Amino acid sequence: MMVNNLGSRLQTGFALVAGTTLLSTALVAADLPLKTLPDDGDRDHWLPAQVNADGTLEALQDATGSEAVPFSGNQEKPVQIALIYPSADVSDFWARNYLALTKRLEQLGIDFETTEFASRQIEHELQSTYATQVEQDADLYDYVIFGPSELATQADNIDKLAGNDGFVTYVWAFHTPLKDLENQPAAWFDFSSAAGAIVICDYLLERLGNDITYAMNRGIPGVTDNQRSGDFKDCVAEKGSWNVVYEHYGEYQREGGFDGTNLILQAYPEATLIHNANTAMAMGSVEAQVAAGREKEIFSTGWGGTGLELDAIRRGELDATPMRMGDDVGAATAEAIKADMEGRADELPLVFLGRITVAHDELSNEEIDALEQEAFRFSGVGALER
């Protein structure tokens, strides 16, 4: 497994169960934030930098990207883990991170058993029923991993689970600790679109320089696009005096990227770069460029570093993308469990952000392959069998 030196190069943050005894304690609202920001009053959540003690995020990222260091304690019985998440949905995020969690626990030498409570993303009431069931059966579990169907809808259940001292609660797929929670979970695990925006911004500024004229295929107005597109736009403007001439909302669809790019090519020939806010739009964008014979003239970015994007980079159609190390969420959770079992709860960041690096066309195919292997080192490269 190619991890040690790569883990330190990637850009983007532990609770004792020696069989039975839990040392983790839930955070309460009065503990936060650790740091204040001028716009705190404008948000209903804390930002990761406000709630993580210095160095804790980086420490868990490093552990997640390095060879496994086995659990140093002894177990009288398997650790019991409940997973409440919308894993019956189409996205393979949940299945991949379940594989990453369990395989990393095996590498760490931790004996465990899992109980899954699956639902679809839209089945909010079913997930709420599961949360109540697990909370009432607290004596059965040591750890509860909760992947909310929707953050605001499940806020009361997060608070209820986190407030139960019979187990340690972790949240997957969100990195925005809500301010009005009375009890914070032990940690939140996710990838940050805002962090990805800065990573690709800094890479492009270093490679292309200042005063670039560009256009954007944005997603749907909301938090995700505000970060992926809006934070990128602010970053390149502030640091490099870049000028955006057109912003097309392609609704995260391939057709949206195709149509937006055709319009850009026709009406805004001065744009030399097109920034796409997800894989689907990036694929539509390069399709339009190839059809027009312009793929060598336009610098194109994607988002996420999916297999489709990496193949497009290999073909010379896509130039760069912020690439998530996709298995980091599950693997980091396993590392957090190990640290908790070793009595190192104070080393756990409240918010873990998976590593994000840039895959680009100046890398060799072997280097791109290595990034792909690292990203899916536990769940496997290629589509999962459902």
Domain ranges of the chain: 4-191+326-354, 194-323
Please tell us whether the domain made up of 194-323 is placed in CATH 3.40.50.300: no
Alpha carbon dihedral 193, 108, 104, 114, in 10-degree steps, equals -110
pLDDT of residue 334: 98
Is the pLDDT reported for residue 236 higher than 60?
Answer: yes
Query: Is the dihedral angle over the CA atoms 63, 69, 75, 78 positive or is it negative?
Result: positive
pLDDT of residue 3: 32
pLDDT of residue 171: 98
Is the pLDDT reported for residue 261 higher than 50?
Answer: yes
Alpha carbon distance 100, 120 (integer Å): 21
Residues forming a β-bridge with 189? 172, 352
Instruction: Give the predicted TM-score (pTM) of the model.
Output: 0.83
pLDDT of residue 223: 80
pLDDT of residue 195: 94
Please give the average per-residue pLDDT across 21-49, as a whole number.
Answer: 78
Mean pLDDT computed over every residue of the chain:
91
pLDDT of residue 386: 55
pLDDT tens-digit readout, 152-195: 999 999 999 999 999 999 999 999 999 999 999 999 999 999 99
- Model confidence at 362, pLDDT cuts 50, 70, 90, reads very high
Alpha carbon distance 275, 285 (integer Å): 9
Please give the average per-residue pLDDT across 311-318, as a whole number.
Answer: 95
Please give the average per-residue pLDDT across 228-245, as a whole number.
Answer: 98
Is the pLDDT reported for residue 15 higher than 80?
Answer: no
Give me the percent of the chain exceeding a pLDDT of 90.
84
- Model confidence at 222, pLDDT cuts 50, 70, 90, reads confident
pLDDT tens-digit readout, 56-72: 999 999 999 999 999 99
Is the pLDDT reported for residue 8 higher than 90?
Answer: no
pLDDT of residue 29: 60
Equal CATH topology for 4-191+326-354 and 194-323: yes
pLDDT of residue 224: 85
Is the pLDDT reported for residue 42 higher than 50?
Answer: yes
pLDDT of residue 21: 39
pLDDT of residue 178: 94
Give me the percent of the chain exceeding a pLDDT of 70.
91
pLDDT of residue 384: 75
| CATH class of the 4-191+326-354 domain in this structure | alpha beta
Please give the average per-residue pLDDT across 77-81, as a whole number.
Answer: 98
- Model confidence at 31, pLDDT cuts 50, 70, 90, reads confident
pLDDT of residue 251: 92
Is the pLDDT reported for residue 207 higher than 50?
Answer: yes
pLDDT tens-digit readout, 95-146: 999 999 999 999 999 999 999 999 988 899 999 999 999 999 999 999 999 9
